[in-house]
Amino acid sequence: MAAELFHRSIADLATELAAGTLSSVELTQAVIARTKAVEPRVQAFNSFDEADALAQAAAADARRAAGETRGALDGIPIGLKDVIAVEGQPLTASSKMLANFVSPYDATATVRLKKAGAVLWGRLNCDEFAMGSSNENSAFGPVANPWDLARVPGGSSGGSAAALAAGEAIATFGSDTGGSIRQPAALCGVVGLKPSYGLVSRYGLVAYASSLDQIGPMARTVEDAAILLGAVAGHDERDSTSLPKSVPDYRAELAARRGPWTLGIPKEYFGEGLDPEIGAAVERAIAFYRAQGCTIREVSLPHTRYCLDTYYIIATAEASSNLGRFDGVRYGHRSKAATDAVDLYFKSRAEGFGAEVKRRIMLGTYVLSSGYYDAFYLRAQKVRTLIRQDFLNAYQGVDALITPTSPIPAFKRGEKSDPLTMYLCDIYTIGVNLAGLPAISVPAGFTNSGLPIGVQLIGQPLEEANLLAIAHAYDRAHEWSSQHPGL
Amino acid sequence: MSAPQLNIDHIAKLARLELSAEEKATFSQQLGDVLHHIEQLSQVDVTGVEPMAHATPVFNVWQDDVARPGLAVEQALRNAPAQRDNMIVVPKVVE
C-alpha cells in the first residue's frame, strides 16, 4: 500500500506533480489536514497560516499549468524553524522576547526556497533562541516526540524534526549550532544535515553563536536532503562568512559517486555514556559499508574530551554579545515596570528571556569579562584550532567519519533538569560545529522499545557531495524512513 | 585557571539582567558546576597555537560603498514597542 501523501518523499511527490497526477493544492491540503489532526498532541508549530500556504500551492499549480515549473521543490510544503525570517510572518525564536515580532524581510534561505517554488508552511517550535537539546526551553511549550509523546523530540530544532516525523510537512529546515539539526533528527527518525560553515547564508537567521550557526535541511531521505541543500546553498554577499564558491548539483552527484569509500571510526566517540543499543546500530551500519567494499579504519580525535567545554565558552560568549541587541528599545519585549532608560534594559531582558537563555548570557558575559577573557575565551579559541586540526589529521586518506549522533535515544520530558547533564547530549555533534565541518544524521533503526536511532557521518570541509553520496548508499539500502510513528 | 569565582551580581550587571534572589541562587550553583567542568581546558597545551574565530578561510570581505534600497520607515518601525512621528519613544534619558 502506498504511503499517505504526507509521509512521502520530495523526490516521489515531485514525480507525481510533474506527471500531473497530483496537484500542489491537493498535497498542501493533505499536509494541512494531517497537521490539524495530530498537532494537538505533537505541538511542533508555533503558528501556521493555512490561507497563505494554499495560495502558494495554487500559484505553484498555475506555474506548472503554464509550463513554467521551477523544479523538484515547486509546490512542496516545507516548514521552517521559527528562527528563519519570512517576510510578513511571525519570527519568535520561541521566546517571549519576540512573541509579537513580525519579520520585515526574508532570510536568504527563504528567498531561495521561494524562488524554487516551495510552499512555506508554518513556523516551527524550537528551544528559545535555539538554546537546548530537548525543546523544553520554548516559551510556547514543549514539543512531543511523535514516536512516544511523553518523550522529547530533541533540540533545538525539535519542532522541525517532530513535524516531519509526524507528517505535518514534507521537509523542514532547522539551524545547527552544536547539533541542533542532527540530534533531533536522530531522536525523531529523520535525516538531518548540518552543512559546512559558510555554505548556507546566515542572513535572516536569528543569531545564537555566529561562528557556529548554520541553516540546514531535515528530510525523509538523503536524496531529499540533497535536493533541499542544493536550493539554499551558495554564496550570498549579505553574509560576510559566506563562501564565494560555486556549488555542485548535489542530487546529480548522488548517482555519480558510488564509492567504495574509506570511512574512519573515531575511537573517542564510542566510550563511556554511549547507549549499547545505539552502539550496536552504528556497528551494523559500519558492517554494511564494509560489506559494500568500503575500507574501515580507526582514527583518533585526541581533543574530543575538550569539545564540550570549548563549545560552551565560545557559544555562550557569542550569544551574550548577539543577544545584547534585545534591550526593549527598538523591537521585542519592553517592560512596563521600568523606571528609567537603564532600568528598561534590566527589566525588559529579565521579563523577556527564559532561564536557559539567561544562564548562557551569564556564562558568556563571565568568560568575556575583564580578567577572565584570556583564561577562558582566548584559550577556548586556541583549543578550537586543535580540535579542527584533529579532524584534518583524521581525514588523511579518509572520506568521512562514522559515529553515533546522540549518545542516548529520546528521553522523557522533565528527566534532565540539570544543565550540565543536558549539555552532554551534544558530545558527538559539537566538534563538527567547532571545526566548521558538514555532517549528517541518518536513521539507523530503532531501539527495542521502538525509539529511533541515528548514525552520524562527518565529511571533509565542503565535501557535501561526497558526504551525501556515502549517506545515500546506506539510506536507500535500508529505507528506515518508510516506517512511521503510530499517531 | 584556578577555581573560578563567579560574582553573580557583577556579571548580572554587566549582562544588563535583573535577576531574582531565587535565580541568583540557582544560577550561582549551576554556573559553578559548569565552570568547574570548563576548568579542565587549563590542561591543554596551547603553546604557539593560533586562536580560531571561525572555520571559513574568508577574511576582510569588502563591498563597494553603494547605496541600496532598504526598509521603508514604516516597515522598520513596525516592531517598535512605542513610536511617534516616525521615531521610537523611550523613557527620558536626560533630566
What's the ipTM? Answer: 0.94
What does each C-alpha distance from A203 to A84, A85, A218, B64, B80 come to in angstroms? 9, 9, 19, 19, 21
Q: Do B12 and A362 touch (CB under 8 A)?
A: yes
Cβ atoms of A173 and A163 closer than 8 Å? no
Contacts of B49 in chain A (CB under 8 A): 382-383, 385-386
Grid cell 523606571 in the structure block, residue? A339
Q: Is A27 helix (H, G, I), strand (E, B) or coil?
A: helix
Helices and strands in chain A, H and E counts? 16, 11
Query: pLDDT exceeding 70 applies to what percent of chain A?
Result: 100
Contact between residue A352 and residue A94 where contact means Cβ atoms under 8 Å apart: no
* pTM higher than the cut 0.90: yes
How are the residues of chain A apportioned to helix, strand and coil, as percentages rounded to the nearest 5?
A: 45, 15, 40
Query: What confidence score (pLDDT) does residue A2 get?
Result: 65
What pLDDT is recorded for position A475?
Answer: 97
A328–B81 C-beta distance less than 8 A: yes
Q: Of B31, B40, B61, which is closest to A240 when you measure between CB atoms? A: B61
> What is the pLDDT, as a whole number, of residue B60?
82
pLDDT of residue B94: 78
Q: Among candidates A483, A444, A457, which has minimal Cα distance to A186?
A: A444
Whole-Å CA distances, A440 to A37, A280, A402, A409 = 30, 19, 10, 17
Q: How confident is the model at residue B4 (pLDDT cuts 50, 70, 90)?
A: low
Give the number of other Cβ atoms within 10 Å of residue A82's Cβ.
30
Interface of B with A in 34-93 (CB under 8 A): 34-35, 37-38, 40-42, 44, 46, 49-56, 58, 61, 63, 71, 75-76, 78-82, 88, 90-93
**C-beta separation of A182 from A429 below 8 A:** yes
In chain A, which stretches have pLDDT less than 70? 1-2
- Calculate Rg over the CA atoms of chain A: 21
Distance CA A395, CA A262 (A): 10
Q: Pairing relation of β-strands A191-194 and A45-47?
A: unpaired
Q: Grade residue B65 by pLDDT with cuts at 50, 70 and 90.
A: very high
- Selection from A318, A362, A322 nearest residue A178 by Cα: A318
**CA–CA gap between residue A32 and residue A91 (Å, rounded):** 20
Predicted local distance difference test score (pLDDT) of residue A345: 97
Nearest CA distance, B65 vs chain A (angstrom): 13
Q: Is A71 exposed, middle or buried (0-12, 13-18, 19+ CB in 10 A)?
A: middle
Smallest CA–CA distance from B7 into chain A, residue = A366
Q: Which three cell numbers stand for residue A221?
A: 531521505
User: What are the chain A neighbours of B35 within 8 Å (beta carbons)?
Assistant: 363, 366
Residues A391, A266: Cα–Cα separation, whole Å: 10
The DSSP letter of residue A77 is: E
- pLDDT for B6 beyond 80: yes
Confirm if A437 and A391 have CB atoms less than 8 A apart.
Answer: yes
What is the rounded distance in angstroms from the CA atom of residue A109 to the CA atom of residue A22? 26
Measured CA to CA, the distance from residue A383 to residue A402 in angstroms comes to 23
Q: DSSP string covering A149-209, please?
A: TTB---SSSHHHHHHHHTTS-SEEEEEESSSTTHHHHHHHT-EEEEPPTTTB--TTBPPS-
Tell which residue, A38, A14, A34, A33, has the closest CA to residue A24.
Answer: A14
Contact A346 B14 (CB under 8 A): no
Give residue A418's pLDDT: 86
Q: What is the pLDDT of residue A234?
A: 97
* Minimal CA separation from B92 to chain A, in Å: 7
Chain A residue with CA closest to B72: the answer is: A104
Residue of B nearest to A99 (CA): B79
- For residues B42, B46, B51 and B54, what is the CA-based torsion angle, rounded to 10 degrees? -70
